[in-house]
Every structure is written in C-alpha cells, then in structure tokens.
Homo-oligomer: A and B are copies of this chain.
Amino acid sequence: MAKDKKVEQITDMEADFAQWFTDICVKAELVDYSGVKGFYIMRPYGYAIWENIMQYLDGRFKELGHENVAMPLLIPESLLQKEKDHVKGFAPECAWVTTGGEEPLAERLCIRPTSETLFCEHWSHVLHSWRDLPMKYNQWCSVLRWEKTTRPLLRGREFLWQEGHTIHATAEEAMEETRQMLEVYADCCETMLAMPVIRGQKTESEKFAGAEQTYTLECMMHDHKALQSATSHYFGDGFTRAFNITYTDRENKLAYPFQTSWGFSTRTIGGFIMTHGDNSGLVVPPKIAPIEIIVVPVAQHKPGVTEAALALQERLQKAGRRVKIDLSDNSLGWKCAQWEMKGVPVRLELGPRDIEKNAATAVRRDTGEKTEIPLDRLEHELPALLDRIQENLYARAKENLDNHIFAAQTPEEAKHLLDEHGGFIKTMWCGDPECEEAMKEKTGMSSRCIPFAQERLGEVCPICGRPAKEMIYWGIAY
C-alpha cells in the first residue's frame, strides 16, 4: 500500500533516534542540505513554523518595550578581542573574511557568532545620559559558529535566531530583565511548542563566554537526552567597562551601565521534533502549525466531493483557521501518510458517506483518534479539538520529563540510573568546578543547570563529601 511505502522511508526512532530525526527533517520538507557542510536551507514548511514562533516572540518583546534593530554582519578582529573571556569562547569557531572585492583586507573580519561586541560599540556612540536608559534592543538574524559536528536544526554552522541586548542603569534592573526574558522563553516553549522546561542557572564552566550568569531552559527529548532550548545572560558591567560605555547619571557623574543578552533559535524546532515526533513523522503543536487542518477528500472522483471539500476549506479559512486542501491525484493512503509525515494536527476527511450524514471525520495526529463532527458544528468543535491536541502534547511531554528525573547520592548511582533509564539525574553539589569535572568523567553527563526549584537531597557533595551548596541536574545533552 502506498501509505506503508511512504512511512517506510523514515527510520524507526527505537532503531536509530539520530537517523529518525534527520529523516523527519528531510521528509517533512523542513530543511534541505546545501553544498557547504553545516549550512542548511530552511524550506517553506520549516520556515513557516519559524515565522509563527517569531511572531509570538516579537510581539512579546515589543509589549515589554524592546525595539528591533539591525547590526552589521561582520566584526573586526580587534573589536571581538576587547572582552577577554568572550573572545576566548568564540574566536575558535569564527568564520573569517580576509578578502573584500579584489583586495586583501588590512584586518580580518569575523562573521558574527553573536553580537555583544557590536551592540557595545554602538552603545559607546549613542549612550549619553541616564535619560537614554534602559536601551532594550533585539535583532532577528543568522549567526555563524564553525562547529565540527553538525546536524540540521540542532547544530548548524549557521542558524537563525533572535538576540536581545539591553543596558540598564542598575544591576538589579539588568538582573530583572535577564530573568524576565527567560520567563518569556519559558512561556514560548510551554504554551507554543508544548515543551515543558526546567528553569535554572548554568555553572561557571557552562555559562556564556563573558557572562556573569547564564540562565537556561532545559528540555527533555523523547530519547531522554537534554536539549538546552534558550538562554538569558547577565553581564554585570564587564563588557561596558571593557568597551568604555559610560553615561552621566542623575548625580551628574560618569557611570557604567549593566547589560544583558538572550537568544532563542531554530534549535527549538529540533527540540519539539524530538519531543513530539513519532514513527509516522513530525507532530507539530497546533499553535505553531503552518497548517492546522488538512482537508482530504475521500473518493474525490465521485460527483460533488471535491466541491464539498472546497466549500469546507473556504468556510474554515473564513473562520480564521490555517487550513489547506489536498486535491492532488495521489491515493488516499499516500495523502494520509504525507500529512502525517508533515505533522498537521488535524486531518479532516470528507467523502460521500460523510456528505450524506452532513458531517466530516476529524483525525487527530497525536492520537490517531477519529471523530465525526456535524458540519454545522465545525467552527465550534475544531478550535476546541486543536486546544485539546496542544494540551495533550504538553501533558505527554511533561509526563516523560517527570518520569525521567532521578535522584542520586553517589556518582556510581548516577551512572547506574542513567544507564538504566536515561533522563536527568539530580544530585547535591558543593559548587566546586573540579567536582563538576569529576562527575562528567565518571558518568559522561554534563551539568545541565542549578534549577531554580531547589530540593535538599542530602547534606554533602556526592563527589568530594564536603558540605553541599545546592542541587544540580546532570544529563547527556544535544
């Protein structure tokens, strides 16, 4: 059968999760490979998902008083070097432009891996008085990081993201911004992408190059590995001092402002694929689905079916739904498999029997459940059904997360739990980077975060036995 043939094209997730993932990226027509390793083409269906995410985030940013800007693509090497931790973190993965036009350049220019240095240079020009503060900027763009191992959506040498950059008069205000933007990201993950998150703080060794503190959202994938889905950084006045960004404060004295940055990328698309997808393909949460409902006529050669299906599509479109119709000459089985592969939340089948009954059959992508809906109830029932799908995806992912966090008292127990169940392992920790490193060596897990929601699992660090400072999450990360 055509349906089986199509579904055969993707690897079972149980057989090879990594291959299953890349199969979905390609077969659901999210991305295509370009001629340069690690550079991917975001195809219309993938980009439309990103547009829905952008629309949500951009709206939230603006509500909170942020303004969009566009910074240059290129950073002179000398500018990148102004903040020492920052250049140490990023220089090894920069792409360098050495020729412009037909002339070799006097100074190499790096394609932005992130834009803190460019924002700092700009602020050093335009910030004068306390009246100018805060400056809350954002840009939508792509950045380059020359990674050795690359995978579509998860780790590209180029990826699409937004980067927010703000400066404030006080450390408190900057810290509040850092936390607020993490919450905006958490809302986006939880309400739009149906991905539950663990909010926490990165350790010294895992934080962003040049930041004083990095906050993170950690998600759990279907294979129980971790995905860092978004981060928000507090810089203190480290960069503003390095770039000599000053302003005249209310007391008429020169002062350094405090800075934040925060980013959300197309990596989260990889995240929801690995959270909700199944062996039939992609499952897109309704709130970010380019197509919420696909209308599929059954026995479309029979008189009146195509017309009725078209009328149905038009009605739903008028009701504000993102709806398409499949009138191709493919078989019904092929069509069903194709739209399942693309993860459309609801397939609405309409055939001669449905028409007779004045109804249509709605098939849920998440559960496969079929419901007959009277045509005159569609505008009412479909939004409710889409909401139920969104909730169910979140609930399933939350269950997966909650069922795969295990407490351990020793590195050996941590390793055993990991091998047995996968997931996140929580332990106490003394706060010493050496113990973090030792845990990594013994278990293969990196620290994911020091969660905001702390528990007291014991009194001592399981690695060194000294008094424990806090609880920390460990995991195998993408």
Q: Could you tell me which A residues sit within 8 Å of B by CB distance?
A: 32-36, 39-44, 47-48, 50-51, 67-74, 76, 79, 92-102, 108-109, 111, 118, 121-122, 125-126, 131, 137, 141-142, 144, 146, 148, 157-158, 160, 328
Contacts and interface: CB of A to CB of B under 8 A. Distances in A.
A273 to B, nearest CB: 17
B48 A68 contact: yes
| Chain A contact residues, majority secondary structure | mixed
Given A47-B69, A157-B100, A125 B32 contact: yes
Given A73-B144, A95-B97, A34 B122 contact: yes
A195 to B, nearest CB: 22
Given A100-B146, A101-B146, A109-B36, A47 B72 contact: no
A209 to B, nearest CB: 15
Contact of A67 (B48, B76, B98): B48
B122 A41 contact: yes
Given A35-B76, A76-B35, A101 B148 contact: yes
A94 B96 CA distance: 14
A92 B99 CA distance: 11
Contacts of A42: 69-70
A221 B355 CA distance: 61
10 contacts: A32-B125, A35-B76, A48-B67, A73-B73, A73-B144, A95-B99, A95-B101, A98-B99, A99-B108, A111-B111
A68 B39 contact: no
A102 B111 contact: no
Given A44-B69, A48-B68, A96 B93 contact: no
Contact of A41 (B69, B79, B102): B69
Contacts of A70: 41-42, 47, 50, 142, 160
Given A32-B126, A33-B125, A73-B144, 4 more contacts: A39-B72, A39-B73, A73-B73, A95-B101
Q: How many copies are assembled?
A: 2
A102 B108 CA distance: 13
A96 B95 contact: no
A355 to B, nearest CB: 27
A72 B150 CA distance: 14
Nearest to A68: B47
Contacts of A94: 101
A111 B97 contact: yes
A79 B44 CA distance: 23
B102 A99 contact: no
B142 A79 contact: no
B122 A36 contact: no
A93 B158 CA distance: 22
Nearest to A144: B73
A95 B32 CA distance: 25
B92 A67 contact: no
Nearest to A50: B70
Nearest to A136: B44
A32 B118 CA distance: 11
A41 B96 contact: no
A92 B96 contact: no
Nearest to A160: B70
Nearest to A41: B122
A358 B76 CA distance: 57
Nearest to A31: B70
Closest 6 CB pairs of A and B: A44-B67, A101-B146, A39-B72, A42-B70, A96-B99, A100-B146
Contacts of A160: 70
B109 A74 contact: no
Contacts of A99: 95-96, 98, 108
Contacts of A148: 101
A135 to B, nearest CB: 9
A146 to B, nearest CB: 4
A93 to B, nearest CB: 5
B111 A73 contact: yes
Contacts of A51: 68
Contact of A102 (B33, B92, B109, B157): B92
Question: Which of A100, A142, A144, A148 has its CB near the most chain B CB atoms (within 10 A)?
Answer: A100
Contacts of A125: 32-33
A158 B44 contact: no
A96 B157 CA distance: 16
A398 to B, nearest CB: 31
